[in-house]
Chains A and B, each alone.
Chain A
């Protein structure tokens, strides 16, 4: 049962990611990416990482995609011209993709066995988020603050960029 749901979600993620890369209009690509993110969130739930699935939906499907679509609508990029995609383009796509994929799978084969990934963590409700909070606000507090500083720096940087542009 779980395997069937996993296969379904994996196929949805792969298909929508392919469509993101292949679709000529960026807006459609963004919508397909949204489907891919939601499918990945479903896989997170299957793996027992419910909190991360919620964060994935909130941050990716919520804020990041809304930001992306907002920029797309205000700036308005043209769609890709048709003559770009000759046989050479497709050959490069398949060749490069096959090469990278083959390399990754070959690396995976050296990892023997592996094991089962779902259902190993303690599954009583709220236990994983509590453990994550202990780590975040305990031994990794400095890293958390560095990330918030990074976000602040990005905000200031964007403001500076716009100011530079206006001059």
Chain B
């Protein structure tokens, strides 16, 4: 049997890795990949708690998270590629104005 703390430590390590990726990578798509890692760590924690305490609601919540996260990724991919095509820039550091252009 697996102690709960192992799962939680694994989730913490994965979250830290994803956080480092979001902070240190400058490419929009790399940052999205790192966000995926963080969401995955959160899901892992939810499943661990849900199975420890025998609650099915926790697993249902993970289903919702997966659905919302897929929608978020689709929207973010559209924004990143549109921005890339408009400006020709590779890295999100160069993004100053995502709103309307002001003359």
Using CB atoms and an 8 Å cutoff, list the residues of chain A in contact with chain B. 2-3, 6, 10, 13-14, 17-18, 20-21, 26, 29-30, 33, 36-37, 40, 43-44, 46-49, 51-52, 55-56, 59-60, 63-64, 67-68, 71-72, 75, 77-78, 80, 84, 89, 92-93, 96-98, 100-101, 104-105, 108, 111, 114-122, 128, 131-132, 135-136, 140, 143-144, 147, 150-151, 154-155, 157-158, 161-162, 165
A44 to B52 alpha-carbon distance, docked (Å): 13
Provide 14 A-B residue pairs closer than 8 Å at the C-beta atoms, listed in order of the A residue. Answer: A10-B10, A21-B33, A37-B36, A52-B63, A67-B73, A77-B84, A89-B24, A104-B16, A117-B7, A120-B52, A121-B54, A140-B60, A150-B71, A162-B82
8 closest Cβ pairs, A-B complex: A114-B4, A21-B21, A104-B12, A101-B16, A131-B56, A117-B52, A116-B1, A158-B78
B8 to chain A, nearest CB (A): 5
Given A108-B12, A132-B60, A64 and B73 contact (CB-CB distance below 8 Å): yes
**CB-contacts of B22-73 with A (<8 A):** 23-27, 29-30, 32-34, 36-37, 40, 43-44, 47-54, 56-57, 59-60, 62-64, 66-68, 70-73
Provide the residues of chain B in CB contact with A68, threshold 8 Å. 29, 32-33, 73, 77
Provide the residues of chain B in CB contact with A33, threshold 8 Å. 33, 36-37
B12 and A77 form a contact (CB under 8 A):
no
B71 and A151 form a contact (CB under 8 A):
yes
Count, chain B residues at interface, CB 8 A:
68
A95 to chain B, nearest CB (A): 10
List 15 extra interface pairs beyond A78-B90, A111-B5, CB under 8 A. Answer: A10-B10, A18-B17, A20-B21, A47-B51, A60-B66, A64-B73, A68-B73, A68-B77, A71-B77, A77-B29, A92-B23, A108-B8, A114-B4, A140-B60, A158-B78
A11 to chain B, nearest CB (A): 10
A156 to chain B, nearest CB (A): 11
- Chain A residue nearest to B72 in the complex (CB): A154
Provide the residues of chain B in CB contact with A132, threshold 8 Å. 56, 59-60, 63
A135 and B57 form a contact (CB under 8 A):
yes
B20 and A154 form a contact (CB under 8 A):
no
Using CB atoms and an 8 Å cutoff, list the residues of chain B in contact with chain A. 1-10, 12-21, 23-27, 29-30, 32-34, 36-37, 40, 43-44, 47-54, 56-57, 59-60, 62-64, 66-68, 70-75, 77-79, 81-82, 84-86, 90
